[in-house]
Structure 1
Amino acid sequence: MTGKVIWHMTMSLDGFIADRDDRVDWMRLADAGPSALGAEVVANCGAFLCGGRLVEVFGENRPYGGSWQGPVLIYTHKDPATNPIPEFTYVSGDIRDVIADGLKAAGGKDLIVTGGAVPRLAVEAGLVDEIVLHVTPVLLGEGTRFYDSPGVAPTRLEVRTADGLNFRLAVVR
């Protein structure tokens, strides 16, 4: 059994994943609590992949507030020897190879990708199977967009599940 590549993200109602100061504390302030869909994603997660910038923003926190334990891969262009969190695996190179290694690390379960750059690269390479999106009822006005990739062909999505402001979307190939 091979897991799926799932982009798991929370965004503001106006489409941002971080505010103008690159902060994400608004997610906790406006959080309506855990969703069944979010719990399902965490339960099926075999490995977690994000960019080095996300680690800088969150610090040493483990994914999902520490409720999930497993391999954490950090996609970076920095020298892995200079990275401060030894329990994480720092990876670089072509996103196709990084995703393949992440799926191996997931051991048949899902590889969760999150952040800005890593999911964008994975979508553009045709590697994301689903997007699980939690929309937080807050308007930020500016910040880091959920998805911003000028000049790229549109990616068609199909709504599989919608529960309030939580969505599971399949990438149509």
Structure 2
Amino acid sequence: MSKLLYSATMSLDGFIAGPDGDMSWLSDYLATPNPGADLLMDEIGSLLVGRRTHTGDDPNAGTEDEGAFGGRWVGPVVVLSRSPERFADTPGLMFSGDVREAVAAAKDAAAGRYVNVLGAGVARSLIEADLLDEVMVFIAPFLLGDGVRLFDRPGGRTVRLEPVDRPEITGPTGRWFEIARRS
């Protein structure tokens, strides 16, 4: 059965994007090959992304590396959006305005492999619905000071994480966790 994995590259101070979703800070970091990210991509069967991530800034915009996993992702993508009709004519993508329907579609498309979650808003929605299974972050050597946090929900509940040992993917700069389910 497919699991939902929220993965991101994060600055040391906890941001996955700069102010207004700016991703340009990642350009230099992503220029260095990351064998772990390549191994991770091999385990992914589909992507579940938010509208902002789908239409937002890409550190590789305008290059052959534009898109998920440096432009190498080829596979099903489900976009969670409150206005999916806005993108109805986009080929190769599925859209849903309902988090549970989007998850079901992404899991079906993943065919037993991971559903890779991209976007802080989608991850927050999945955590709130108790649907997210795992979190994996690569920590980049930057202090952004402001922007989009990996997880931000003022007044939200504490989410306990348990380490997962996947050094072949995480390497020295990554961390992988399983969400501890509430009893």
TM over 0.5: yes
In the alignment, the residues of structure 1 paired with residue 4 and residue 132 of structure 2 have an alpha-carbon distance, to the nearest angstrom, of 5
With structure 2 as the length reference, what TM-score do the two structures score?
0.84
Alignment of 1:55 onto 2:54? yes
After TM superposition, the score normalised by the length of structure 1 is 0.88
Q: Say which is worse superposed, 60-69 or 118-127, in terms of deviation.
A: 60-69
In the other structure, the counterpart of 1:110 is 114
* Partner SS state of residue 152, structure 2: coil
The total of aligned residue pairs comes to 171
Question: Is the alpha carbon distance of 1:84 and 1:21 closer, same or farther for their aligned partners in structure 2, counting shifts above 3 Å?
Answer: farther
CA distance in 1, matches of 2:56, 2:78: 16
SS across alignment from 1:120: helix
Gaps of 5+ in 1: none
CA distance in 2, matches of 1:85, 1:169: 34
- The two structures, once aligned, show a CA RMSD in angstroms of 2.0
Tell me which residue corresponds to 1:24: 23
Larger mean CA deviation between 51-60 and 39-48 belongs to: 51-60
Q: Which runs of 5+ in 2 are unaligned?
A: none
Residues 130/37 of structure 1: CA separation in 2 closer, same or farther (3 Å cut): farther
Cα drift, residue 84 of structure 1:
6.1
1:124–1:23 Cα change, 3 Å: same
Quick check: 1:80–1:91 contact (8 Å CA) kept in 2?
no
Matched letter for residue 47 of structure 2: F
Distance in 1, matches of 2:79 and 2:86, equals: 13
Is 1:163 aligned to 2:167, yes or no? Answer: no
Alignment match, 2:8: 9
Q: Kindly indicate whether the alpha-carbon contact (under 8 Å) linking 2:21 and 2:57 is maintained by their aligned counterparts in 1.
A: no
2:79 touches 2:102 (CA, 8 Å); kept in 1? Answer: no
Amino acid at match of 1:149: R
Q: Which runs of 4+ in 1 moved over 4 A?
A: 81-84
Q: In the TM superposition, what are the counterparts of 1:65-84 in structure 2 within 5 Å?
A: 65-82=70-87
- Identical residues among aligned pairs (%): 30
Give the Cα separation in 1 of the matches to 2:29 and 2:8: 15
Question: Within 2, Cα distance between the matches of 1:46 and 1:17?
Answer: 23
